[in-house]
Amino acid sequence: MKVYGDTRSGNCYKTQLIMSLLDIEHEWVHINILKGDNLSDEFQAKNPNGKIPVLELDDGRFISESNAIINYLAAGSTYYPSDRFAHAEVLQWQFFEQYSHEPYIAVARFIAKYLGMPAERRDEFVSKQEGGYKALKVMEQHLNKHDYFVNNRLTTADMALFAYTHVADEGGFELNQYPAIQRWIKRIQSEPKFIPME
């Protein structure tokens, strides 16, 4: 297997994390989105949407969208439940991550960390804070009652949310007011095969 991505990206990190937890051998191909590697004809033949990560299977097929990739890799393991309701809960939290979490926390981080907070995007950065804190509040309420997001055990729902949450401070979000989230982060970081984001 090959993974095309950038190790600083939370969406790509999800793939790295599940592959580490499951001991999946793979080749990593670095894609520099700031230089436009993802806009090349060669890359867009793999993913016409031009986004990372992309997983290339041994048979030459490709999977894009980070949560689709981690669910594919985790299928059949304890990280991806087969029970219909639990399976729906995983998807529920992953849709939440993509629509109510990532557009705020990840974008704010991108502006600050990747781009270095250019003046022309400062207002956009500030505008992302309210939505990001709203998402963190939803997570905190759930984690006050549960150790994890689904079935009270580590699943790809947690991996999807962990990727950008644990580095939310890089997007200007203060995590010290969310003790349940902090405990959850430490819980995941204590996994035997955990790897940190580069």
Q: What CA–CA distance (Å, rounded) separates 168 from 175?
A: 7
pLDDT tens profile 63-113: 999 999 999 999 999 999 999 999 999 999 999 999 999 999 999 999 999
* Joined tokens for residue 176: 């010290």
**Among residues 2, 5, 47, 53, which one has the least CA distance to residue 24?**
2
Report the percent of the chain where pLDDT is more than 90: 97
Q: What is the mean pLDDT of the chain?
A: 96
pLDDT tens profile 116-136: 999 999 999 999 999 999 999
- Regarding pTM above 0.85, the answer is yes
Question: Which pLDDT value is given to residue 171?
Answer: 96
Question: Which pLDDT value is given to residue 116?
Answer: 94
Question: Which pLDDT value is given to residue 174?
Answer: 96
Domains in the chain: ranges and CATH: 2-74 (3.40.30.10), 84-189 (1.20.1050.10)
